[in-house]
Structure 1
């Protein structure tokens, strides 16, 4: 048969097959059509693609006749879906195939992509089956069907980068894409426009957001795009984004699939993934879909850039500030009626039109209507009468602010009433789902924890697997729920206890209304009991963070936040601890506020649970930069502890540790240090030297001493605490690693640059090995290493790129205005100024200055200190008068808050003396320089680099006053000491030898 058909084609198109082929396909099969097009091109046959969905009102014979206007062969890409285009009755297709197509059989050919039976009259097309065969065999069958000699273009090769993947070969990475909807209807023009926008966008800017109201079909369209254009990508990754924690966790999971070496902390993995996508390594053809991303806060931290494409679905039109946007509206009426008639074949076109009008062409509502009509076989007049005349007690109000017709509630009521009669266990599942949050629901925990105390009406879920599966199948068939796959699901290894489902937000709202009854209270209790059972119990372990991210959204809807069950309360606190440990600070703050709001109504304000809540909340607030809020919260708890009838020494100790930290961040350094000393003594008395809380208190004392400028005392404190931590906790514990960073910082501030560098290089190696290269703590260690290298002086070549990289990653984790990011901005600005990039340095210095002023207030020592760096940029730019004014103000402010002998004051005085000299006030400069040198020798010692800088500065001023003898002695002594302590080739030594005026950089450090 194939040989005979091949001969017929050759007769029409020539001995070597047709010169042109028109490939006609439904939009659903675009990947196959593009593959066919490429294979024909590779064999020297010109082909054209035509997406085909003939209007129902045009006679089928006319539409097919239009295809014959093209010369050459018409190749139809067939499956059972092809004959539902329109849709049309199968009889119409059979008639046309037997008549018109048979009369022009030499012009038509076909390939078949399904193993399901086609219409009987399809035999006239003699379709060759490409279903279930490999690429080579599929190509051979295609060429044979068209009468093309495979040797016709022997040796012709297409560029490797242009090769299209065989449609039956999935992308190398295919991550949790929703199953393709076999009933997906229309949207072909929108999908084509979306592809064009992404393909035409410049590198790094290929991001588009599908925006529209709930239920309009954004998610379905994104899923169809991923399937339809999968051959364009090597990586396709789906990120559910209804909840920020789930979003971050899911996006970070791509690190494993890309083979990236990283730890489990979400921010760390996100940075690694974004960097890999930006470079296009190991894959440059990637698509990442963020589904349901409504909150644009933090978009710049999450959105990947690079050679691939980003697709977002959202109700928020504010995405226009970040991406291209494509508005998604309801179906066209033709799409609505086509969908209804395919799903419910017994209804007529006018009836479908009436139903579509009733529901405003909103896809989600039409899905429900079509499911009901198709399953029940109810006639449309009866169905619409029930919808229009239905009474749902007090449920007649609109479903919400999304413009959903009132009729939808009635339609849902009909469905739920029917399920109550025919499948009551499906209603049990629905009611239970309504007690979770919308979106992803870890429903499998019902079966995973059979020991949980479930209400009687739900116990069948644990014992009757067949009923469980049947209920879920029913709800999926009626498009109420969709199953989600995760991890081993794709390989078929998932059991019912691991099953998750997805319930659309709008569906959740309607179902909650219509199933809210006598069982709701019991069901919410069951859900929070299950959440407590599913708590891994250790939020310190990053391997448990994906589970906590999954549980977190369901705490409030289930009533867990006002539960009096100790097990549930522990699970709630563990979720809060997870937010702190995983750096999900915004989510943690929101959760803590809601917990406090609920617990305050029934819980003792000084109970252990409330104390732990306050401790975690204040830690999160401090790390987020809300220092004053943390302080007020800590003070309130301390007051309650003091007023309580029963003393709580351990509770008071924990409270004091937190308050001392608050004071340090607020710039009250002396009070913080005094309180911290008392805390250390009390902790040793209550707990002993080596308990974790004592080690934390010792660490905090070292920090307090360091911000006070008492570097030698800080070093001695940190070394002693580090030694105890190594013994009690081990060398690889995170607290031990923090102390290692602190000791290296102390050494650097003491001027022991080589020792500090050697220690910090070792610290970073351990951080990378234990915590991963992009863990928050590792990033901080890397920032400290960059400062060590800058001070040591031997690693200047790549230092700027390193500091810029650390800054970028800090920004991704914390945002641009976080105090840790501001410190990196400040330090990088100092480096840029020193290396001549004054414009960029000015921009960053002003950003750091404004950021700290907004965060801390203008009187805070750090906010004052960064002014000195801004002044140095102005001075280097020739704006000497302005620089002097700023430095004089900064010196006065620092002296007022810290005293005259603090190293920050001494450094600012060094810069102010130089500014006075540059402005012609040499006598004033010399007077300030002499006083500063005296104080530096007293505070830091004769050999500290800052002291020696003060000595060189005074020599410069004395030369300006022609007091050359004293100037020479000071300069000679300073050079000898610099050479001995730092080395002859150190930048400080070389600069002093060249008689460059020394300066001091302010390193913003909140501790």
Structure 2
């Protein structure tokens, strides 16, 4: 019959429950202690067995860790507050039956406060507790053994002749001390546990870059899951030549003779581990696949947990668990734990951003700031200007070296083993802290295979992340690498980077960009100052990026890029150079989309005059300039006769054909002019025919096609054919969401039109769309933008007509406040 019932919660220091069970079982015999994990036999009805053991026991030991009160289930509900929670049910039953209940407070768990407990557990707070700390387990366990002997005489008599001894901590055990006041990364710990549970002879490898917290997680796992093992041993594997001495210590702890031949030592040690039962072996910092292969081959019933910067292990049976940098919230949480004075969250977030949310860098920064030497804001500024120096500050006395030292060692090893990889790293240091496809780097050198090997070496080093075939440098490490490089060398690297970017494959800048070519290129082009590139392809890339930005909803950035390029190239190549004129045309286009029509006309007329003189009236480049002049001029007077737009269509059709993309853009603008002039029938005819040609030539999802479909929908609405318009706008809105994104201005226009169609057909379904578009326009465009005001009016009117009665008053107030401002603002045009 069990004398002691061990009550515990999985996930809250479960090693302590296992330790208590083993200690009491060694002292009084295994039949005197009940712990579900050890005592329930396979196939038994576990619920019945637990109640029987609880009824027969004299003592209930409630193991209470630091998370005991706060642990939640998958739905986010507090476990202890649920009446069906087994931990709660067991304690409540023991209290009601008058059992001797002993709370055991593990690893800093606070003394129980009855105000924080459910009423049925309040009496637990009045019970004298025992403290069990992993740094001094003997004292707490001795008290528990003494209490068991005192309270149950039969157990004391059994102990007198017992061959068992007090176990204390696991043996063997040599895991480093835990890090106090650290961020809990429970998702990763659970992932490690799942990987090891299903390991079946495989090693679980924690992979990640330098300083992300792999060693800390391995340490924390060893403590939290120690209850699943009889022995845990830690080996620092970064330097294989030092592992022999550590294995000798393990052999000594196991009673294994390690004086035999070197090849026989490891099998002998594993045989010793297997004799002692379940074991966890941690290999911290292992980089050698050949060495891991030997450990895997011998591990058998045990678990291998490896930390490594390396992610490629060939065909070795491994389960990888990736350790990423902290989230920004986790970084702020860590800094707040260590920095006194409650600094502002924004300050801590800026500091976290400056060190790229790297765990080791955050810890060093926290220690240095907590010393009072600098404020968080001062540290943020210093680390951006004196990167290497600051990354030596903040001694933690827990990590073997600073981040500066760790990176320096890694760079020296890379320079020696893979010089080309080091050269590539210097190139990446002057680029943006953003992903870059590995394939794009192959053109960097004449030998693509050598570049692939260099990329592979970078990934193996753990200094640069390689994710899904993309190389992803991070800002702090880039600054660390870049800081000692001479200015002249940096300029050479920047030019090499520009040429490399310009050679990358990219599609139509006005197209859907499904693979994100331009989104990938943009941050690197900005970081490298692409307009300064000497190669003509660099100028072509800048112009394509400007067009991409305008077409995809960021004309402000497009204007800054094209205006800066226009001025630089005019000074360098002259006002009539093609690149200068193209940059001016792109600046005019950006002005147009920003509503600065007068500026657009001024630039367009200058470009047209120079193109006419340089290439003649019928050159496609001159026709494009004439097209831009016509639509920008019409935009200044949108109700005027669209004769100039029609003339451009005729010219482009004659020279380029009616299905040329440029001709179809001019045709779209003609339809816009006809609709604005009130000729809806002709506008629909022009727009419908143009839409058919666009679908055939560019496809249904091209932005130009979707813009034309939107125009036909407007024509149908103007002709009071709301049902037909609704279907077309619904399709266009869905496609624009997928192609352009939900927050693109064109997508929001389609959403607005769709909601208006629902209102016109008397359908309440459009209320949700109207609300979504209104909210997005407020976030994207601001509350005072004309399109936001129009959405406010539409949403308010639809809420009055279709919304719940409780919201009608607020909707009427919204309409009243918005109406006057809407009437005073000129409506924008969508063209070009």
With normalisation by structure 2, the TM-score equals 0.56
Deviations 1:541-565 (A, max 9, x none): 5454534323211213334222232
Over 3 Å counting, the alpha-carbon distance change for 1:845 and 1:21 in structure 2 is same
1:210 counterpart (326, 330, 345): 345
Task: Say whether 1:72 aligns with 2:119.
Answer: no
2:87 counterpart (41, 50, 74): 41
**Corresponding residue number in structure 2 for 1:578:** 548
Over 3 Å counting, the alpha-carbon distance change for 1:73 and 1:759 in structure 2 is same
Note if contact 2:367-2:396 (Cα within 8 Å) is conserved in structure 1: no
Question: In 2, Cα distance between the equivalents of 1:734 and 1:700?
Answer: 15
**Corresponding residue number in structure 1 for 2:563:** 593
Over 3 Å counting, the alpha-carbon distance change for 1:31 and 1:527 in structure 2 is farther
**Corresponding residue number in structure 2 for 1:688:** 657
Question: In 2, Cα distance between the equivalents of 1:14 and 1:144?
Answer: 28
Q: Secondary structure at the match of 1:440?
A: coil
Question: In 1, Cα distance between the equivalents of 2:379 and 2:171?
Answer: 34
Question: In 2, Cα distance between the equivalents of 1:720 and 1:739?
Answer: 10
**Corresponding residue number in structure 1 for 2:465:** 483
Mapping 1:840-919, distance limit 5 Å: 840-849=814-823, 852=825, 862=827
What is the Cα deviation at residue 613 of structure 1? 3.6
**Corresponding residue number in structure 2 for 1:562:** 532
What is the Cα deviation at residue 736 of structure 1? 4.3
**Corresponding residue number in structure 1 for 2:428:** 433
Question: In 2, Cα distance between the equivalents of 1:37 and 1:629?
Answer: 67
Deviations 1:211-248 (A, max 9, x none): 227984458797879xxxxxxxxxxxxxxxxxxxxxxx
**Corresponding residue number in structure 1 for 2:336:** 190
Deviations 1:226-280 (A, max 9, x none): xxxxxxxxxxxxxxxxxxxxxxxxxxxxxxxxxxxxxxxxxxxxxxxxxxxxxxx
Mapping 1:767-778, distance limit 5 Å: 767=732, 770-772=735-737, 774=742, 777=746
Deviations 1:885-934 (A, max 9, x none): xxxxxxxxxxxxxxxxxxxxxxxxxxxxxxxxxxxxxxxxxxxxxxxxxx
Question: In 2, Cα distance between the equivalents of 1:562 and 1:646?
Answer: 30
Task: Say whether 1:450 aligns with 2:442.
Answer: yes
Deviations 1:290-329 (A, max 9, x none): xxxxxxxxxxxxxxxxxxxxxxx9xxxxxxxxxxxxxx99
Question: In 1, Cα distance between the equivalents of 2:141 and 2:382?
Answer: 37
Over 3 Å counting, the alpha-carbon distance change for 1:655 and 1:418 in structure 2 is same
Note if contact 1:807-1:821 (Cα within 8 Å) is conserved in structure 2: yes
Note if contact 1:525-1:559 (Cα within 8 Å) is conserved in structure 2: no
Q: Secondary structure at the match of 2:430?
A: coil
**Corresponding residue number in structure 1 for 2:729:** 764
Over 3 Å counting, the alpha-carbon distance change for 1:71 and 1:465 in structure 2 is same
Question: In 2, Cα distance between the equivalents of 1:52 and 1:6?
Answer: 30
Task: Say whether 1:500 aligns with 2:482.
Answer: no
Question: What is the count of residue pairs matched by the alignment?
Answer: 596
Q: Secondary structure at the match of 2:474?
A: strand
Question: In 2, Cα distance between the equivalents of 1:808 and 1:211?
Answer: 25
Deviations 1:441-466 (A, max 9, x none): 53x63x75433347x9x996555567
Over 3 Å counting, the alpha-carbon distance change for 1:20 and 1:441 in structure 2 is same
Question: In 2, Cα distance between the equivalents of 1:564 and 1:644?
Answer: 24
Note if contact 2:498-2:538 (Cα within 8 Å) is conserved in structure 1: yes
Q: Secondary structure at the match of 1:690?
A: coil
Task: Say whether 1:824 aligns with 2:791.
Answer: yes
Over 3 Å counting, the alpha-carbon distance change for 1:459 and 1:669 in structure 2 is same
Gap runs ≥5 in structure 1: 55-67, 79-92, 121-128, 146-167, 169-173, 198-207, 226-312, 314-327, 338-352, 379-407, 477-481, 486-493, 857-861, 863-1003
Mapping 1:360-759, distance limit 5 Å: 367-369=391-393, 425=419, 428-437=423-432, 439-442=433-436, 445=438, 449-453=441-445, 461-464=451-454, 468-469=458-459, 472-473=461-462, 476=463, 483=465, 485=467, 494=468, 498-504=470-476, 508-509=478-479, 511-544=481-514, 546-644=516-614, 649-667=619-637, 669-670=639-640, 673-722=642-691, 724-725=693-694, 734-749=703-718, 752-753=719-720, 756-759=721-724
Q: Secondary structure at the match of 2:90?
A: coil
What is the Cα deviation at residue 827 of structure 1? 4.5
Q: Secondary structure at the match of 1:499?
A: strand
Q: Secondary structure at the match of 1:118?
A: coil
**Corresponding residue number in structure 1 for 2:175:** 118
Question: In 2, Cα distance between the equivalents of 1:216 and 1:739?
Answer: 48
2:60 counterpart (9, 18, 30): 18
Question: In 2, Cα distance between the equivalents of 1:186 and 1:697?
Answer: 53
Question: In 2, Cα distance between the equivalents of 1:366 and 1:111?
Answer: 43
Note if contact 2:339-2:366 (Cα within 8 Å) is conserved in structure 1: no
Question: In 2, Cα distance between the equivalents of 1:622 and 1:632?
Answer: 11
Over 3 Å counting, the alpha-carbon distance change for 1:845 and 1:436 in structure 2 is same
Deviations 1:964-985 (A, max 9, x none): xxxxxxxxxxxxxxxxxxxxxx
Note if contact 1:19-1:45 (Cα within 8 Å) is conserved in structure 2: no
**Corresponding residue number in structure 2 for 1:998:** none
Note if contact 1:330-1:362 (Cα within 8 Å) is conserved in structure 2: no
Mapping 1:23-422, distance limit 5 Å: 23-24=65-66, 41-45=87-91, 52=108, 71-74=128-131, 76=133, 117-118=174-175, 132=193, 178-179=324-325, 190=336, 210-212=345-347, 216-217=351-352, 331=366, 367-369=391-393
Q: Secondary structure at the match of 2:63?
A: strand
Note if contact 1:215-1:362 (Cα within 8 Å) is conserved in structure 2: no
Question: In 2, Cα distance between the equivalents of 1:597 and 1:14?
Answer: 90
Q: Secondary structure at the match of 2:528?
A: coil
CA RMSD across the alignment: 6.1
Over 3 Å counting, the alpha-carbon distance change for 1:821 and 1:36 in structure 2 is closer
What is the Cα deviation at residue 651 of structure 1? 1.9
Question: In 1, Cα distance between the equivalents of 2:395 and 2:413?
Answer: 13
Deviations 1:571-627 (A, max 9, x none): 333333332333233333333334334433334544444444444443343333333
Over 3 Å counting, the alpha-carbon distance change for 1:134 and 1:113 in structure 2 is farther
Question: In 2, Cα distance between the equivalents of 1:540 and 1:679?
Answer: 21
Question: In 2, Cα distance between the equivalents of 1:599 and 1:114?
Answer: 74
Q: Secondary structure at the match of 1:784?
A: helix
Larger displacement relative to structure 2 (565-574 or 417-426): 417-426
Note if contact 1:548-1:575 (Cα within 8 Å) is conserved in structure 2: yes
Question: In 2, Cα distance between the equivalents of 1:832 and 1:639?
Answer: 52
**Corresponding residue number in structure 2 for 1:806:** 773
Question: In 1, Cα distance between the equivalents of 2:370 and 2:89?
Answer: 38
What is the Cα deviation at residue 658 of structure 1? 1.7
Note if contact 1:803-1:828 (Cα within 8 Å) is conserved in structure 2: yes
Larger displacement relative to structure 2 (39-48 or 677-686): 39-48
Q: Secondary structure at the match of 1:18?
A: strand
What is the Cα deviation at residue 700 of structure 1? 1.0
What is the Cα deviation at residue 654 of structure 1? 1.0
Gap runs ≥5 in structure 2: 1-20, 36-52, 93-102, 111-124, 149-165, 178-188, 199-220, 231-304, 306-319, 803-807
Over 3 Å counting, the alpha-carbon distance change for 1:535 and 1:720 in structure 2 is closer
Over 3 Å counting, the alpha-carbon distance change for 1:520 and 1:696 in structure 2 is same
Over 3 Å counting, the alpha-carbon distance change for 1:332 and 1:20 in structure 2 is same
Over 3 Å counting, the alpha-carbon distance change for 1:706 and 1:16 in structure 2 is farther
Question: In 2, Cα distance between the equivalents of 1:530 and 1:663?
Answer: 40
What is the Cα deviation at residue 760 of structure 1? 1.1
